[in-house]
Amino acid sequence: MIQSFTVLRGFLTHLIVRFFYILRLCILPCVTLLHITPGSSHGQTQEESNYTSGLSPFEQAELLRLIDLDIRNLSKIPIQGVLGYDQEYWRNPASVHVIRPEDITLNGYFNSVEALRGVPGMHVTRGLAYDNFASMRNFSGFSTQKFLGKIGGREVSQLMLGSANYSVDDYPIAVIDRIEVIRGPGASIWGTNAVNGVLNLVTKHSGDTQGDSFRIVMQDNGTFMGDYVHGGQVSEDSFYRVWARSQEYAEGTLDSGLPARDDGYLRKAGFRIDKELDSDLNFYLGGGFATRRLEHVLDLSNRLFYLENASNPIPLAFAQQLSTLPVAHPSYIDPATLPPVVSYSQNAALFWSTPAGLISYPSLPGGRISRYEYYGEMKNDSAHFIGKLEGITDADLEWSLTGFADHSDIYMGHLGFEWEQTQYDLSFDANRPVGDFHRLSFGLSAQRTELDVVTRVIEPFQVGFLKVPILDYDQAYTSFDRFNAYLQDSITLSDQLLLSMGAKFEENDLAGFGFQPGMRTSWMINESNVFWAGYSKAHRQPSLRERYTTLTPYKVWSPGGGGAWLNQSYPGDSTLDREEMDAYEIGWRLRPNKDLLFEFSTYRYDTKNAVRAASSNAYEAKNAEAYGGELSVDWRVSEIWRLRGGYSQARGKVEGIRVYDFPENTASLSSHFSYSDEITLVQNLFYAGKTDIPSDYNPITIPSHLRLDLGIVWEPKEGWEIGLFGRDLLEPYHVETMYPGVDVEPARVERTFLISITKDF
């Protein structure tokens, strides 16, 4: 076993060294390749040469991909992109990355959000056992606050937190057609919140999911996920599918080694019906529901403070320890000035956590504690319906009318905070050619959001006379409307040069009237090189938590006057205006031949009113800037070996001061080696630089970390795939993120082993 590991490690080392050596050789001469002619590709057969003759390398690569699709998919154009109409991804004047279903199963990912780890400019982190978070490009802070998420045609961001939970909203792999990751603002088409980019998950037509499919993933720590999809045909022009998912989360471990109490389950189900009403008119109806139940631990060790003097509050647990020192010690605190047991909680037991278990507070010698925890239920119930009617008129007008209703009930029991959100959305989108050189894209939409928010004082904070919840929402704001319209003209100046100009107009109860113009141009200088440049004025609306929610994260014991608890509160700022970003981007897509693709992009964002954590209010608006660049490489070395790699550099400043809550450097390298027709060897290497997570009472630094995943995938027969994977193999565990302002200790991301069994249609 040791010898095998040594050989494998040597192979991987050789692979990595060779990749970056070749990468260096390829990149340095790139500046001389602007007028390169596509040469012969490694391993190209005579048959391939026949049907790719006369095509550009971009077209050759796309044609070879389409040949593997069934007849229904042959007519599909790959992505929607940033122009308002479908177009080949390589023609899009933007940084675009497309994730296919096989990219998820072949790499042993549980769900689609994990697959974002391999996208340059994306930073995916594991919080607790049940969630992965994704951020894009600059100082995104935690979660998904700076880019727009659309899944199955629905906008999935929650107004309360200004983010989405992709672990809940995810779909089974078998029904996903593709995931479009568009880095850079697309506000003139996509609208508010498409600031750093857009994540657009597109599901398949139910006619493409006929028969039965399932996927089972089991991890050595007990985590389990099972998907089942069934599709059928009602008539010649009517199809349907139904699907279900069951997932169990195993309990994780906090960085201190204590249990995270984050185990639970997720249950989901959904359906879709597609019907061809006419040769140029189609309709589909879809829907689904999800329910998730978890527990979450709230560590109050750094939320209860002792006011030693007017300017020096210290954690109460530490103050208790200082009271055991000799009286002559300079740090000695008189136990008589410390709060008595009953002042902590009237109803809840206090616990001291040890690796051996929990010990009740009263049983501790002298009544001292070293850790104080509270456990609360986390629930997430949601359901949605979506309908879409689309067609093409005799005048070549492509149009669609989409409506959806979405309801969710989210309870953060460890904070005593619950909200129900009901959202209705109706949108019309269209595009059509005008003359020989113009293509207009335009649309209208209206959205209504209603909320019901409940705040409770959790038991540990029911002390004294100041019973204040951790999160307290202003009930005056419970309904919000949003209306917008957009118009964009894509002008074909020549066969090589495209110019797109447009704007989105929006009236929003949270951000008022907004005008978001954008302009992009692409230049296909020859058949191997595409340049693009873009400018956009993008807006992000503040979340309800930022504007209308008061945060009371901790309490301070003041020994003066007989002793009393004091609340430390940070009110939201209802005057927060929209964030306004001027975004600039330049990119270059280079394909010397059908087997090799480079993409470079660089950007700069200047943001007014960027919402940041503050020491007086919970949040305040500041001016910020971000800049960086990305490189990605996709290389089919031979018929049996494919390499993908990426590198990102990001820098951020707030009021001229550098911030580090997004890693300044990230990188990835993926290798797929077909050992035989049935066996593929998989290797994924990820690097993320250190990040600083700010907090008024417990800021932490997440160290840089390197992650290595290895796997072997066996396809015993057509449609079947069995994979064995080891993840995070370089170290027993590391930490990746923490909820700022909510938690005080990150959870471990531990080394795991899993098996994945997939049966396709």
> How do residues 373-391 score in pLDDT, each as one tens digit?
777 888 999 999 999 999 9
Rounded distance, CA 657 to CA 646, Å? 28
Rounded distance, CA 79 to CA 420, Å? 33
Question: Is 383 in a helix, a strand, or coil?
Answer: strand
Burial of 560 (0-12, 13-18, 19+ CB in 10 A): exposed
- Contact between 409 and 382 (Cβ < 8 Å): yes
Residues 6+ apart with CB under 8 A from 349: 360, 361
- The model's pLDDT over 703-727, given as tens digits with 9 standing for 90+, comes to 999 999 999 999 999 999 999 999 9
Which range among 181-185, 187-191, 747-751 shows the weakest confidence by mean pLDDT?
Answer: 187-191
Mean pLDDT of 260-270: 91
Residue by residue, DSSP assigns 49-115 as HHHHTT--HHHHHHHHHHHTS-TTTTT--SB-TTTTS-B-GGGSSSEEEEE-HHHHHTTT-SSTGGG
- The model's pLDDT over 307-344, given as tens digits with 9 standing for 90+, comes to 877 667 777 777 777 887 888 888 888 888 887 654 54
Local confidence band at 88 (pLDDT 50, 70, 90 cut-offs): confident
- Identify the residue with better confidence: 745 or 715: 715
Which range among 238-252, 296-310, 626-640, 695-709 shows the weakest confidence by mean pLDDT?
Answer: 296-310
- Token pair 């020994």 is at which residue? 559
Strands 122-126 and 281-299: unpaired
Task: Name the amino acid, one letter, at 73.
Answer: N
**62 pLDDT exceeds 90?**
no
β-sheet bridge partners, residue 204: none
**5 pLDDT exceeds 50?**
no
Rg for the chain (alpha carbons), in Å?
27
Please tell me the predicted confidence (pLDDT) of residue 685: 96
What is the percent of the chain where pLDDT is above 90?
46
- Token pair 């003209």 is at which residue? 489
- Contact between 267 and 291 (Cβ < 8 Å): yes
- The model's pLDDT over 552-563, given as tens digits with 9 standing for 90+, comes to 888 888 887 777
Rounded distance, CA 526 to CA 130, Å? 47
For the chain, what is the mean pLDDT?
A: 82
Task: Name the amino acid, one letter, at 160.
Answer: M
Mean pLDDT of 500-510: 90
Local confidence band at 615 (pLDDT 50, 70, 90 cut-offs): low
Give me the domains of the chain, ranges plus CATH numbers.
33-299+376-759 (2.40.170.20)
Q: Which two tokens stand for residue 50?
A: 């026949």
Rounded distance, CA 248 to CA 221, Å? 11
Please tell me the predicted confidence (pLDDT) of residue 407: 96
Strands 197-203 and 148-151: parallel
End-to-end CA distance of the chain: 37
- Contact between 99 and 115 (Cβ < 8 Å): yes
**537 pLDDT exceeds 70?**
yes
Q: Which two tokens stand for residue 391?
A: 């067609």
Local confidence band at 64 (pLDDT 50, 70, 90 cut-offs): low
Please tell me the predicted confidence (pLDDT) of residue 72: 44
**74 pLDDT exceeds 60?**
no
Please tell me the predicted confidence (pLDDT) of residue 501: 93
Question: Is 138 in a helix, a strand, or coil?
Answer: coil
Please tell me the predicted confidence (pLDDT) of residue 137: 83
Mean pLDDT of 517-536: 91
**25 pLDDT exceeds 50?**
no
- The model's pLDDT over 635-670, given as tens digits with 9 standing for 90+, comes to 999 999 999 999 999 998 989 888 888 899 999 999
Which parts of 559-664 are beta strand (E)? 564-570, 579-593, 596-613, 619-638, 641-654, 657-659
**44 pLDDT exceeds 50?**
yes
What is the percent of the chain where pLDDT is above 70?
81
Strands 471-473 and 549-558: antiparallel
Q: Which two tokens stand for residue 498?
A: 């495209």
Please tell me the predicted confidence (pLDDT) of residue 587: 93
Local confidence band at 134 (pLDDT 50, 70, 90 cut-offs): confident
Report the half-sphere exposure of 408 (CA within 13 A, side-chain side): 22
- The model's pLDDT over 394-424, given as tens digits with 9 standing for 90+, comes to 989 999 999 999 999 999 888 889 999 999 9
**258 pLDDT exceeds 50?**
yes
Rounded distance, CA 180 to CA 199, Å? 6
According to the per-residue pLDDT averaged within each range, which of 150-154, 363-367, 439-443, 574-578 is highest?
A: 439-443
Rounded distance, CA 583 to CA 183, Å? 11
Please tell me the predicted confidence (pLDDT) of residue 324: 79
Please tell me the predicted confidence (pLDDT) of residue 15: 40
Task: Give the containing element (helix H, strand E) for 12.
Answer: helix 2-27
What HEC string does 347-359 produce? CCCCEEEECCEEE
Tell me phi and psi for residue 429, to 5 degrees: -130, 145
- The model's pLDDT over 444-501, given as tens digits with 9 standing for 90+, comes to 999 999 999 999 988 777 765 668 888 999 999 999 999 999 999 999 999 889 999 9
Residues 6+ apart with CB under 8 A from 689: 663, 664, 665, 666, 704
Burial of 340 (0-12, 13-18, 19+ CB in 10 A): exposed
Rounded distance, CA 103 to CA 101, Å? 5
**145 pLDDT exceeds 80?**
no
